[in-house]
Amino acid sequence: AKKIGVLTSGGDAPGMNAAVRAVCRAALARGMEVVGIKRGYNGLLNGEIIEMNARTVSNIIQRGGTCLYTARCPEFRNKEGVQKGADKCREIGLDGIVVIGGDGSFRGAADLSAMGIPCIGLPGTIDNDISCTEYTIGYDTAMNTAMEMIDKIRDTAQSHDRCSVVEVMGRNAGYIAINVGLAVGAEAVITPEEDYDLDAICAKMQKVMKSGKTHFLIVVAEGVGKTEEITKLIQEKTGVETRATILGHVQRGGSPTVRDRVIATQMGYHAVELLEKGIGNRVVGMRDNKIYDVDIQEALSMTKPFEDELYAILNDTAF
Ligand code: F6P
């Protein structure tokens, strides 16, 4: 019987547990053995391996975080580390690994595949910043959390006639920002992908204040790196009392949404189908709303368009 491992790597994301569960159960259903590797590639190198059965993954589909723990592993970035990892896989008798994480984790999966251990990458990150896929596990939950938080911030901004500047996560990408900004009715969304004109935003604010608007919401992607500065400038230029809120890690936790659970399960299932056939060095993703797989090197060389259409719609409906 084939024996496969599953690990989560990089930043955690809601829905990772659903993916781990699907990998485990789908493999067991095919008569394969499954082990969990704790704390990403670190656990492989340190031998933090747990036997998994159907019960190991009971009661986790609804939980945020990852039951396998996660970590970033600098040692896996050099050849010796990967070699050691491949040796460990042979020692344990692994015929393949499912790696749930982001681009950094996929690089390790490609290197390990090149050393004869078939690996399949599943996109797990709240940022949706993986080019080969329209969707990453955790994205929907993170956006819903951010939306709920900003709805609350709006209540108090409205009561005090204030402007709230809210920073959302996304590393260097503005996907969370533009979608959440649209969903909360923000007056402006500032992302690393699009140029912005703070003077123009402030001028519009002043104009609509004359016709009775009293509070404002500006969403800023963390990748812009200027949330405090923007907050200060808005207050100076408009005279509106302005507050900054950095949502931070609240966006990484919580029970995954339907979308995250379903897609994580589909992707986990697809990964096992590939490993069953002995296929490795692939990333599972979503294209045209369907689950597909692609060569890891090819996946890493792709680029992803920004949400230009949403950005245009937001700007035409904001004030
Ligand atoms: O990739 C997920 C993410 O939450 C990014 O949005 C953010 O830039 C980063 O991870 C934060 O990393 P850490 O949890 O290590 O501070």
Among residues 311, 163, 160, 158, which one has the least CA distance to residue 237? 163
pLDDT of the chain along its 319 residues, tens only?
899 999 999 999 999 999 999 999 999 999 999 999 999 999 999 999 999 999 999 999 999 999 999 999 999 999 999 999 999 999 999 999 999 999 999 999 999 999 999 999 999 999 999 999 999 999 999 999 999 999 999 999 999 999 999 999 999 999 999 999 999 999 999 999 999 999 999 999 999 999 999 999 999 999 999 999 999 999 999 999 999 999 999 999 999 999 999 999 999 999 999 999 999 999 999 999 999 999 999 999 999 999 999 999 999 999 9
Which listed residue (127, 140, 260, 293) is catalytic?
127
Ligand 1 proximity of 259 Cβ (cutoff 6 Å): no
* Nearest residue by C-alpha to atom 5 in ligand 1: 171
How far does residue 165's CA lie from ligand 1's centre (Å)?
A: 20
The answer to whether 120 touches 274, Cβ cutoff 8 Å, is yes
Ligand 1 proximity of 145 Cβ (cutoff 6 Å): no
- Residues 6 or more apart from 319 whose CB is under 8 A from it? 187, 204, 207, 208, 213
| Residues in the chain, overall count | 319
CA-atom Rg of the chain in angstroms = 22
Minimum-distance ligand 1 atom for the alpha carbon of 176:
6
Ligand 1 proximity of 14 Cβ (cutoff 6 Å): no
How far does residue 251's CA lie from ligand 1's centre (Å)?
A: 10
Q: Can you give the pLDDT at residue 95? A: 97
* Nearest residue by C-alpha to atom 14 in ligand 1: 11
Ligand 1 proximity of 77 Cβ (cutoff 6 Å): no
Cβ of 184: how many Cβ atoms within 10 Å? 19
- Residues 6 or more apart from 241 whose CB is under 8 A from it? 160, 161, 162, 163, 235
140 is catalytic: no
Using CA atoms, how far apart are residues 232 and 195, in angstroms rounded to an integer? 19
Within the chain, what is the greatest distance between any pair of CA atoms?
73
Ligand 1 proximity of 11 Cβ (cutoff 6 Å): yes
How far does residue 25's CA lie from ligand 1's centre (Å)?
A: 29
Ligand 1 proximity of 109 Cβ (cutoff 6 Å): no
How far does residue 33's CA lie from ligand 1's centre (Å)?
A: 33
How far does residue 171's CA lie from ligand 1's centre (Å)?
A: 6
Minimum-distance ligand 1 atom for the alpha carbon of 10:
1
Alpha helices per DSSP H over 115-217: 139-159, 175-184, 198-210
Using CA atoms, how far apart are residues 298 and 17, in angstroms rounded to an integer? 27
Ligand 1 proximity of 170 Cβ (cutoff 6 Å): yes
